[in-house]
Amino acid sequence: DFRAFDDSDWKSRASDVSAACEALVREGCESGAIGAVGEGFGGSLVFDAAARGAVASAVLVSTELESRGIALMAILEKTERVPTLVIASEGDSAGVTAGERLESAASGFFEYRMYPGNSFGADLIANSESAAVQIVQWFEQTLPSPALSDRD
C-alpha cells in the first residue's frame, strides 16, 4: 500500500522506470532510443533512471529538487550525457527553483523552460499547447530517428 511508503520505498520506484525501459528493449526498442516524461515525483524517478543509463532523453515537468529520498542535484553529474528538458509554470515555485538550479549547474545538454500561469504537471501540458509541442520536439531532436524501413 503506497500510503505506508517511506522515502526508501518511494526511491525504489526508480527501479520500476528502469524495468519498464528494459521491457521495451526486450520487445525490440533500441536502448539508446528511449525517452521518458515524468511529472512531479515522477520527474525525479525519470531523472534517477537517466542517471542509471535506462533513459536516453528525459523531460521533467514540475519537479522538485528533492523529493521522497531522491535529490536531483546529487545525481546531476550522472545525467551529463542525457539530454534533459525541465519545464515549469511561473507559479510553480518548486518547479521554477528546480529548473533554475539544475540548469545553472548542468554541464551537459540541458534546457529549462518556464511557461506563464500557475499550472502544475499534467495540467501545465494540458493548458499549454506549446509545452506539449515542445516535449514532442525535444524527443524528435534528442532521440535517434527510426530507420526508414520502420516508417511504414
The number of residues in the chain equals: 152
Over residues 42-57, the pLDDT tens digits come to: 999 999 999 989 999 9
Q: What is the pTM of this model?
A: 0.88
Pairing type for strands 57-61 and 35-39 reads: parallel
* Full DSSP string of 119-134: --THHHHHH-HHHHHH
Furthest-apart CA atoms within the chain: distance in Å: 48
Phi first, then psi: what are they for 109, rounded to 5°? -75, 95
Over residues 65-106, the pLDDT tens digits come to: 998 888 999 999 999 999 999 999 999 999 999 999 999 999
